[in-house]
Amino acid sequence: MAARFVYWMNVSLDLMIESAPGENGGGDWMRIGEQLHREFNARARPMTMSIEGRTTYEIMESFWPAAAQDATLPAYLQEYGEIWTSMPKILVSRTRTTASHGTRIVGDGAIDELARVRSEASGDIGVGGATLATQLRDAGLLDEIMLFTRPVILGRGRPLFDGTPAPMDLELIEQAEYADGVTLHRYALRPSARRPQLP
């Protein structure tokens, strides 16, 4: 059975992933407490691989490998550091030539290569980064969207997908609620939503 590409992201109620350029998940609206971080750990650990764009990868690379070994951090942060560092990863980048922590770099022809990975691998593969998720969606390769939604409307910023997407037919497969009004919604893309869009 083929693997599934799962785009998971923290979002506002109006489906923004950052309120200002370069915020990269660090805005005041993006508070992550212990309960929610333990949920992230539980969702990430069963994934068989992670695929990340360069910006997302470099944000993760700058913190999580060191966090895994930092005894001054809470255990749940050390745990996520261990999960990220040990998980097989594909970095989609035309500019990076080296990477560590079990990371393979794919540059030109990335979407064709990721289609091959999806057909030959198994399990859920996490997708990090709006640019990459948009490309996978447009190629008909995205299988699921997992949103952790904050009870805030930003009114501006970077949206969940780049550009103006065509209508997407989704099926709600799970929902849950956490502290501070954060909710989880997991959606499977119906077959019609996964077909590549014609120009």
- Give how many domains the chain has, as a whole number: 1
Query: For residue 12, is it within any domain?
Result: yes
* CATH code, domain with 93: 3.40.430.10
Per-residue model confidence (pLDDT) at position 136: 95
Query: For residue 162, is it within any domain?
Result: yes
Average pLDDT score over the chain: 92
Note whether 177 and 183 are within 8 A (CB).
yes
Query: For residue 30, is it within any domain?
Result: yes
Beta strands in the chain (DSSP E): 4-11, 16-18, 49-53, 89-92, 103-106, 124-128, 144-149, 158-159, 170-177, 183-189
Query: For residue 138, is it within any domain?
Result: yes
Query: For residue 199, is it within any domain?
Result: no
* Residue numbers of the domain that contains 15: 4-194
β-pairing, 89-92 vs 170-177, is unpaired
Query: For residue 175, is it within any domain?
Result: yes
The predicted model scores a pTM of: 0.92
pLDDT tens for residues 108-133? 999 999 999 999 999 999 999 999 99
